[in-house]
Structure 1
Amino acid sequence: MAKYVIMDMKKVPIKTSGLIHVEPPELSFKVVAELDKKMEKGAEKDPLLQQEFQAQAKEILDQTVKMIEQKCKVFDKLFDDMIKKGASVNDVKKQLTGLNKAISEDMKVANKAAELGVQKAWQNLQGKKKEWKKFKIKVAASIVGTLAGLGASIAAMATSPFSGGAGAVVGIAGLIKSGISLAKDINKLAIGIDTANTQLERNLKFVEATAKKKGLYTANEVGAGILNEFIGIAQPSIKSVQDAADTIKAKYAQMIVKMHELSKVLNKILAQQDKLKKEFLSEAAKKLKKYPIKDTGTQQKKIEAGLDDALSDNYKKVQSQIDKVQDMYGDARKWANTIKDLMKRVAQVELKDSKGLKVFREALKLASAATGVLDGNSIATTAKDLGLGLGESLGGYAYDKITSKALDGTVFDAA
Structure 2
Amino acid sequence: MLGDTVLRWGACAGLSELQDCRLQGHDIAAAIGLLLVAYLAVPVGMRLVRTLQTLRARSFTPIFSRMLSAWVKTNSYGAETFFKADGADDDTAAQRQRALDRLAEYFQKRYPKSGVWSHEIRGGLSDLRFTDAGRVPFPFARLMQEKFNLCSVVTASEGPKLLDIDGHWSLDITGSYGVNVAGYDRYKEWMEKGWERVKDLGPVLGPLHPIVADNIAQLKAISKLDEVSFHMSGTEAVMAAIRLARFNTRRKLIVCFAGAYHGWWDGVQPGLGSERDIRDCLTLKDLHPASLDAIRRLKHEIAGVVVNPIQSFHPNSPPPSDAILLTSDIRKTEDAHAPYAQWLQQLREVCTACDIPLIFDEVYSGFRLAPGGAQEYFGVQADLVIYGKTVGGGMPIGVCCGKTDLMRRFDP
TM-score relative to the length of structure 2: 0.18
Larger Rg: 1
